[in-house]
Structure 1
Amino acid sequence: MSSSPNTDALASGHLDDDDEVLSGEAVAIEVQPVGVFLRSLGAAIDMLLAWALFLGYIAVRYWMIGATADAALDRILSVLALVTSFVLVPCAVETLTHGRSLGKLAVGGRIVRVDGGAAGFRHAFIRALIGVLEIYMTLGAIAFLTAAFSARSQRLGDLVAGTYSQRVRTPALPFRVPAMPAGLEPWAAIADVARMPDRLARRISQFLENAPQLLPASRARIAQDLLTEASAYISPVPAAPAEAVLIAATVLRRQRERRALALADDRVERLSGVRVGD
């Protein structure tokens, strides 16, 4: 099995710029845009609902008024129904649900700003207004072509409003708790593993998660490099393979942090008389 550049980058703790946004605190947050085909499916659902709303108005109009209505009033009501169905209702739904709609719920997406923040009324109004041209007047042709050639599957309304559709329904990650490697139990009883810098701890965690996907040579090299950095926080460093030492240090540090949290909760309960978590 060969390791790709993306796998090596992930093991080293780096992310592709196209898959992350930078928050206001200068923290890189990994994001997953919704693909163009899922976006098209969600847009088709929303478009059918908008047409159903407009056709429902026509049915109610003929049922209540019939063909005897004033022509000028009928044209005004028809324009209002069009604007309401294709602009006002989609804008209101996205604003009130913070970027969600029935179509987006179906495909697991949500409209957010390009910086990862929640979209507001201005973004929803621009998207709905331009959507009349690119979705309804062209049957989605402009929206599909624009999304197909943009980095985050952004349609024209997204490019103007500064938004994109972020994936919020992702597969559940398997919860795997590493076990202490065999033979290192005596070392764990006397070892001291200090708190590591967040960046180093994150790189070790990412390496251990993706180690089975690496070539043996790359796996051993990265493990040794990480152990060299982490050895300043491990005392003593056992005479064992580098990856086994990293796993043992991770398990030991996790156990001690869990005990520290439990002791802190017990102390709060004794002092306040309130059970933590209630």
Structure 2
Amino acid sequence: MSELVTGEAVALELRPARLPSRALAVLLDLAAAVAVYVAVTIALVAATASLDEAAQTAISIAMFVLVLVGGPIVVETLSQGRSLGKMACGLRVVRDDGGPIRFRHALVRGLIGVIEILMTFGVVACIASLVSARGRRLGDVFAGTLVVRERVPAGQAGFVPPPPPWLAGRFSGLDLSAVPDGLWLAVRQYLTRMRQLDPQVGWSMAERLAGDLAERTGTPVPPGVPPAAYLAAVLQERQAREARRAFGNGAAVGGGQAGPAGAGWAGNHAPPPAQPPVAVPPAVHRPSGYPSPGHSSAAYPPAGPGAASPRADGAADERPSTGFVPPA
């Protein structure tokens, strides 16, 4: 489920980096690593001039492994997939589900990279990238990673709407260990593109993804919760756990918005103050689910940052809209 194709032939996937940009990033990384290796070698030769030849050879091999193999692994781990060459080319290494990589991902990529990049002068890596539909080399395949374009044109980056406030902390006890990375990727990409889909197609996709997610977690979707809102709430719960694991218990993950509807409450699972229900225009009958089948998504308030929601008195609401409506 690394790629989900809708009935409208819309592929929900990340933007993989192409071979030329990846090759340029690798060359910049190798140039930086070789420069560091030469500087360290010159310093060690001067410092170990009194040692015998065997000791000098052992130290040289150790420096080669530490600088040219261990260096890229440490850099990718600390920078979460952004080495010097990748930062210059606007690339980043991420997991298959779009999350940040960890030490084990960088370790597998670095060890296999010794064979397919250093020992074969990049021939194996180029062939694997050309054969792969997503431009992945062997290190990416075995590590479960993907090199994506981090800098995209303005307006093309997908916005993941935050879950509604009435779902805050509801899934804090959910077991997410059995959910595969491919399913997380499909959920995330659906949420970023759901407003571009036909309402009936988007509703069926949300139900299918919610059913798959509920099957993996072993807990059914709560009654009355729209499938799209359920997906957004579970995805933000997972992001909150990742943030606490990486930065400690004080970390908070917002939904990409700076208002009370989406910022700050997911990290400590404290539900926000009760919000008044959004009024529905008389001309449009809106069911409790979002998006609803059979209705155009243009009738609903925008879910982007800073979007205004209608109020009962007809004035614009200053709170950012999440795009979801509480159940009746």
Q: What pairs up with 1:15-164 in 2 under 5 angstroms?
A: 15-16=10-11, 19-20=12-13, 31-66=14-49, 68-164=50-146
Per-residue deviation at 1:166? 1.3
What secondary structure, in the 3-state scheme, does the structure 2 residue paired with 1:115 have? coil
Cα 1:263/1:128, change in 2 over 3 Å: closer
- Aligned partners of 2:67 and 2:26: how far apart in 1? 14
Computing the radius of gyration from Cα coordinates, the structure with the larger value is 1
Cα 1:87/1:257, change in 2 over 3 Å: farther
What secondary structure, in the 3-state scheme, does the structure 2 residue paired with 1:165 have? strand
Q: What pairs up with 1:173-212 in 2 under 5 angstroms?
A: 173=155, 201-203=195-197
Specify the code of the residue in structure 2 equivalent to 1:262: E
Q: Which runs of 5+ in 2 are unaligned?
A: 157-190, 200-279, 285-295, 321-328
Which residue, out of 313, 317, 324, partners 1:261?
A: 317
Question: What TM-score do you get using the length of structure 1 for normalisation?
Answer: 0.57
- Aligned partners of 1:155 and 1:64: how far apart in 2? 39
- Aligned partners of 2:194 and 2:142: how far apart in 1? 39
Per-residue deviation at 1:233? 7.2
What secondary structure, in the 3-state scheme, does the structure 2 residue paired with 1:173 have? coil
What secondary structure, in the 3-state scheme, does the structure 2 residue paired with 1:111 have? strand
- Aligned partners of 1:96 and 1:247: how far apart in 2? 42
Per-residue deviation at 1:32? 0.3
- Aligned partners of 2:87 and 2:96: how far apart in 1? 20
Q: Deviations over 1:37-81 (max 9, x none)?
A: 111110111111111121112222334444x53111101111111
Specify the code of the residue in structure 2 equivalent to 1:235: A
Question: What TM-score do you get using the length of structure 2 for normalisation?
Answer: 0.49
Q: Which runs of 5+ in 1 are unaligned?
A: 1-8, 21-30, 175-197, 206-231, 237-245, 265-278
- Aligned partners of 1:82 and 1:150: how far apart in 2? 30
- Residue 167 (structure 1) aligns with: 149
From the two aligned structures, give the one with the greater helix fraction: 1
Q: Deviations over 1:123-145 (max 9, x none)?
A: 10111111111111111111111
Per-residue deviation at 1:109? 1.0
- Aligned partners of 1:63 and 1:98: how far apart in 2? 35
Identity of aligned residues (%): 35
Q: Are the aligned partners of 2:36 and 2:67 in contact in 1 as well (CA < 8 Å)?
A: yes
Deviates more, 1:51-60 or 1:147-156: 51-60
Residue 283 (structure 2) pairs with residue 235 (structure 1): yes
Per-residue deviation at 1:248? 8.8
What secondary structure, in the 3-state scheme, does the structure 2 residue paired with 1:37 have? helix
Per-residue deviation at 1:169? 0.4
Specify the code of the residue in structure 2 equivalent to 1:55: V
